[in-house]
Amino acid sequence: MAASGIGRCTWKRYNNHAIVASHFFKNLISLKHRRCSGGNTGHSIEECLFDLCKRRHFISGDNLTKTSLLQGFHSLGPLGKELKKNLVTQWWNSIVLYREEVLAIDTLYHIPLQAHASKNPLVTICSESWKSHLQGKDCTQDKPVPLLENTIRQNGVLREDLLYGALQQYVSCLDLMNKKLPFGLAEIGKCFNPIPDKNVGKKVSSIGEQTLASLTWFSSAKTASQWRDYWLRHRLQWWQKFAQSPSSFSTSDHQDDQGRKVSEIQYRFPWGKEPIESLCSKDDSTLLQMHPGNNTQLHGRDGRKSVIPYVLWVSGNLERGLLAYLSDALQLSETSRQTKDLRRS
């Protein structure tokens, strides 16, 4: 089994334990060939991928499925953690470390309820706090819902992406950049998504976790399309350069609910293509809605002009990226009985 270029990994058994290299692009983890009986159908490749990822300590958990992996309902083993760390390091070096116009930020997990676009926001409530509300003097049979809504407004909801935090810090970071455009804000952080119960309609049965790598890029309307083409090309090449089969990564375009153009970088898994990163173009209304009131604080300098910038939001799912590289490293070899007999003779 050949390994993906993401760390030039191959997998190896040593003293019945998997070992992992700590230096990216230097040490190797070797993998033996997997011999499977039966045809090379998408289903068999999928099963081999999940089985190897679990046995070689990349992914842990019971009943690994395509759905559980894509929705972030699994944990990483020791090798998976190391591979993810390498992926994070390479992303950070490519986006932040060698770019003076990109600033690093770290935002809160909780955001205001009104800033959450999802119809099913995720809320964390202290059990003791909720009990005290229910046992209070003002609580009657018709008041638990208002009390809950008030608690949610006070505590906020869990973020599903990193865009809100970047938009919130735009004004202060613009001052730090001396009002000069373009510039970007980068962050890697944990986000949460509701997983609905298939048997109970839209009721949320569990919470999925995912690590997102986000770049929010601010540029003038005049150069927005050029920067969008640049970042789309840059991101596709970045994903491809670590892959053993670069052609498995591709791009596609569509429009979101508000008619804005969205580009996706997809990977061709054994079961089909899945998005691992998206680029969404937004106009200046995004910042105007985030910072209502005095618009002068939003203006940046693009040459001699003072403008409110357009926003390009780049967001990648690192767990899906990790799974893509593990899938890229997988090569099945099927040996027929006739070949085995020839080798024995």
What total number of domains does the chain contain? 1
Q: Which domain holds residue 131?
A: 110-158
For residue 73, give the nearest of 56, 88, 61 by alpha carbon.
61
Please give the average per-residue pLDDT across 10-15, as a whole number: 32
Q: In the chain, what percentage of residues exceed pLDDT 70?
A: 68
Look up residue 159 and give its amino acid.
R
Residue 88 lies in a domain: no
CA distance 133 to 121: 21
Q: How confident is the model at residue 268 (pLDDT cuts 50, 70, 90)?
A: very high
pLDDT at 331: 74
Please give the average per-residue pLDDT across 217-228, as a whole number: 96
Least trusted range by pLDDT, from 5-9, 25-29, 154-158: 25-29
Residue 169 lies in a domain: no
231-263 confidence digits (pLDDT tens): 999 999 999 999 999 999 999 998 887 788 899
69-122 confidence digits (pLDDT tens): 887 778 889 999 999 999 999 999 999 998 999 999 999 987 776 665 556 666
Residue 185 CA to its chain's centroid (Å):
16
Residue 137 lies in a domain: yes
The burial class, CB within 10 Å (0-12 / 13-18 / 19+), for 148 is middle
**Which CA distances in Å does 223 have to 176, 265, 298?**
22, 22, 17
Residue 178 lies in a domain: no
Mean pLDDT in the chain? 78
Residue 151 lies in a domain: yes
Residue 211 lies in a domain: no
Residue 147 lies in a domain: yes
Residue 45 lies in a domain: no
Contact (CB, 8 A) for 319 and 72: yes
Q: How confident is the model at residue 334 (pLDDT cuts 50, 70, 90)?
A: low
Q: How confident is the model at residue 340 (pLDDT cuts 50, 70, 90)?
A: very low
pLDDT at 123: 67
